[in-house]
Amino acid sequence: MTDSIADMLTRIRNGYAARQKRVVMPHSKIKETIARLLLGENFLEKLEVKTIGPWRQLELTLKYVGKQPVVHSIKRVSRSGRRVYVSTKDLPSPLSGYGKAIISTSKGIMLHTQARREGLGGEVICEVW
């Protein structure tokens, strides 16, 4: 696996497509940070870090409204073969402000709204709506 973030986003996307209640994936700090941002924006129901033997796993409980998934689309923007960097003035506003972009900045990983407030640009990790 070369792109663990793309794998995480694909697991979430597939989980919603299959109407699963939760998805499990190997843990990493960056994946946990992205999941916490999604949890804070109410795209996920719950986040748990579980230790199974020497390994840690990330268990995400997916969120639904009725039977409809809260996340309509989640896509990787910057990939290993094509990095996408933006300045403060060029920060994306997915779906005309209804979606969220997750940005990796010099002060850590944050939402595009927080990066804009702090006057930071960076690498666009993904967009969610």
Structural domains in the chain, sorted by start: 2-67 (3.30.1370.30), 72-126 (3.30.1490.10)
Return per-residue pLDDT of the chain as tens, 129 residues: 589 999 999 999 999 999 999 999 999 999 999 999 999 999 999 999 999 999 999 999 999 999 999 999 999 999 999 999 999 999 999 988 899 999 999 999 999 999 999 999 999 999 999
Residue with tokens 């990787």: 76
Q: Check if the beta carbon of residue 45 is closer than 8 Å to that of residue 20.
A: no
Residues forming beta bridges with residue 55, ordered by sequence position: 52
Q: Model pTM?
A: 0.94
